[in-house]
Amino acid sequence: MTPTPLELLDALVAHAAADLQGADAGAPVCASDRHNRSVAAVKRAEGRWAALRGAQRQIGRGAEPGATLQDAHQRWQADLARHLAKGSGREWVAYCTGGVEALAELIESIPGRDPVVEQAMAAAGTQQTAVADQRS
């Protein structure tokens, strides 16, 4: 049986929370660098969790899942593009990248996606990759 979008989202939120717990070993995220852990990896895991959990809250309040996920993905993409454009620190870029990736993965896993939306997502991803490559 194919899971519903909400079941997929619930599973991904739980997985992201476990990844975040594993990435920071239970330490406060802001203190991770003092424990010789990659702050960018922790921030990426935190961004994944935050993006998925935000969408989960909205859908839990009755928002339509497809539109909610698309809107969230667009907001996270815009935040990532803004941080890349202004040269924000790698932690902010990692945080936003985690959110964008998590939402894109969820959207891609939902059957019956709109091809027009997929094309727009692909185009936005290509633009972000080019900006990130220029910064490297």
The tokens for 129 are 């990759």
pLDDT in tens, the chain (136 residues): 666 777 778 888 888 888 777 755 555 555 545 555 568 888 999 999 999 999 999 998 999 988 999 999 999 999 999 999 999 999 999 999 999 999 999 998 876 655 555 555 555 554 444 444 444 3
Q: How far apart are CA 82 and CA 71, in angstroms?
A: 16
Give the type of residue at 93. Answer: V
Pick from 10, 41, 11, 9: nearest CA to 27: 41
Q: How far apart are CA 106 and CA 94, in angstroms?
A: 18
Q: How many CB atoms lie within 10 A of CB 73?
A: 23
Pick from 134, 38, 135: nearest CA to 95: 38
Q: Compute the half-sphere exposure of residue 135: CA atoms within 13 Å on the CB side of its CA.
A: 18
Report pTM. 0.71
